[in-house]
Amino acid sequence: MKSILLTLLLAFSLLHLGKAQTLSLDADIRPRFEYRHGFGNLFPDEGKAAAFVTQRSRLNISYGDPKLKIYMSIQDVSTWGDTRQLAINDGNQSFSLFQAWINYSFNQSWALKVGRQAISYDDQRILGEVDWTMQGRFHDAAMLKFSKDKVNLDLTFAFNQENQKNIGSDYTINGFFSYKVMQLAHFKKVWEKGSISFLFMNNGFQKYADDANLQPDGLYYRQTTGTYFTFPLSAIQLTGSAYLQTGKANATTDLSAYQLMLEAKYKLGKTALILGFESLSGTDATAGEKNNSFFPLYGTNHKFNGLMDYFYVGNHANSVGLNDLYFKAQTPLGKQSSLGANLHYFSSQATLADGIESYLGTELDLVLSKTISKNIKMNMGYSQMFASDGMGILKGGTNPKNTNNWGWVMLVVNPNLLKFTKEE
């Protein structure tokens, strides 16, 4: 509570920084119920289904004047019941700072954005905010931005440490692709009906001479380079991407991998139809020393390859890759509701094992969205994975014949609590 009050006091104090100021205070509260029976992995024999409610409680504060923009986002991410009643302190330490950045404009074209920030580009395949997760994804970074005549160029730099040290600069936080340094360039050109962008990202990860004792020994690097485009072709909207990954998969293994995606969108009346294919390269089960497994490092991966998170959501790294042939349809149900249906046909890109077919399974995702009022929306979904024997082998020998399904209901409430404008 003290942190929230201090943040509010800081927000109001910003009104004295200059002229033509705008201050906005917004809330984002979203409780979500989930029923899991094979979510993210095949359901084991004799297992029992899981059910729980998680909640994001986020407060966003933004300030802007002609030169300066400031944004802060504080949040509590909790599971209902994770803190004992009448407890003085939150033992789960779920209160955190999601974003806190300043953006200073040197002129109409150049600006500098510094601080904790979400970085999201294109379809969020490589870099995304991951809004589906309650906590979201952020980067501590400095970004130099150029924008003119529908051309945008961002140059981003990050250097991470887990604390303030007097000796050494090794980085011992080693979560899923947690980098020590990052250099990123993103260029985008927009036309009236289409766009194209190019990305280069170099990530440096801590290397250790002795993994058991965590003796630091410099860094190893992974590069991700590629392009994304949208292009109209008569009544069809084409979208595609192609990326390469090079460098090192780990301290001792060379990396050479790719991602390719192409999809076509067609409007049939008010219904949107999408047919697409994505291929992410993988490493054969009997491969040698080189790693050929592509990984979409910091993207909104829940959005891709099925909503049940069987691939690339904290899993499926350094594996056999994936081919995903998919069909999606979304249609409005009146003015306030819509229904989406997605069908995915999964197969391994590389050889799974001798004598094992590449087909992994088929997933069906259904999502119903309804706007209740201006600032309140309810989303609900049901998904089911129809897994093959190959999926069972890929997931560690679990019986693929068990029922694998997942259901959820989420309420999203995001009102503007305050908006104040002081004219020049």
Residue 380: strand, helix, or coil: strand
The secondary structure of 102-157 as a DSSP string is EEEESSSSEEEEEEEE----TTSSSB---TTSSS---EEEEEEEEEETTEEEEEEE
Whether the full predicted model's pTM is greater than 0.75, yes or no, is yes
Rounded Cα distance between 348 and 316, Å, is: 11
SS3 178: coil
Beta bridge pairs of residue 322:
280
Between the alpha carbon of residue 399 and those of residues 143, 310, 388, 395, the distances in Å are 47, 15, 9, 9
pLDDT of residue 216: 79
State the Cα–Cα distance between residues 167 and 185, nearest whole angstrom.
31
Q: What are phi and psi of 363, to 5 degrees?
A: -120, 135
> Which H or E run contains 26?
strand 21-37
Q: What is the pLDDT of residue 285?
A: 81
**Pairing relation of β-strands 376-387 and 404-413?**
antiparallel
pLDDT digits (tens, 9 = 90+) for 162-171: 999 999 889 9
C-alpha span between 343 and 365 (Å, rounded)? 7
Which segments of 166-253 are extended strands (E)? 181-190, 195-210, 215-233, 236-248
Q: Which residue has the tokens 């959820």?
A: 408
pLDDT digits (tens, 9 = 90+) for 55-95: 999 999 999 999 999 999 999 999 999 988 887 777 778 89
Closest CA to 40 of 50, 29, 52: 50
How far, in Å, are 87, 90, 213 from residue 83 at the CA level?
A: 7, 6, 35
At 263, give phi and psi (nearest 5°).
Answer: -140, 155
Write the CA distances from 368 to 40, 144, 305, 405, 409, integer angstroms. Answer: 21, 39, 19, 16, 9
Q: Which helix (H) or strand (E) holds 2?
A: helix 2-13
Q: What is the pLDDT of residues 158-212, one digit of tens each?
A: 999 999 999 988 998 887 899 999 999 999 999 988 999 999 999 999 998 766 6
Give me the long-range contacts of 204-209 (CB less than 8 A, separation at least 24): 204/179, 204/180, 205/177, 205/178, 205/179, 205/180, 206/170, 206/171, 206/172, 206/174, 206/180, 207/251, 208/251
Half-sphere exposure of 383 (CA within 13 A, CB side): 29
| Amino acid identity at 347 | S
**Residues forming beta bridges with residue 50, ordered by sequence position:** 36
Q: What's the rounded Cα separation, in Å, for the pair 48 and 298?
A: 32
Q: How far is Cα 332 from Cα 383, in angstroms, rounded to an integer?
A: 20
The residue whose two tokens read 């929306």 is 377
Q: Which residues of the chain have pLDDT under 50?
A: 1
| Distance in angstroms (rounded) separating the CA atoms of residues 268 and 332 | 12
Q: 338: which 2 tokens?
A: 């819509």
Residue 211 has a pLDDT of 62
Phi-psi region of 282 (alpha: psi -120 to 50; beta: other; left: phi over 0): beta
Three-state secondary structure call for residue 194: coil
- Give the C-alpha separation, 172 to 398, whole Å: 33
Cβ within 8 Å of residue 161, ≥6 positions away: 169, 171
Q: Which pair of tokens denotes residue 295? A: 């990984």
CATH number for the domain running over 2-422: 2.40.160.100
Residue 188: how many CA atoms within 13 Å on its side-chain side? 18
* pLDDT for the residue numbered 2: 55
- Residue-range domain boundaries for the chain: 2-422
**Residue of 410, 401, 319, 326 whose CA lies nearest to 363:** 326
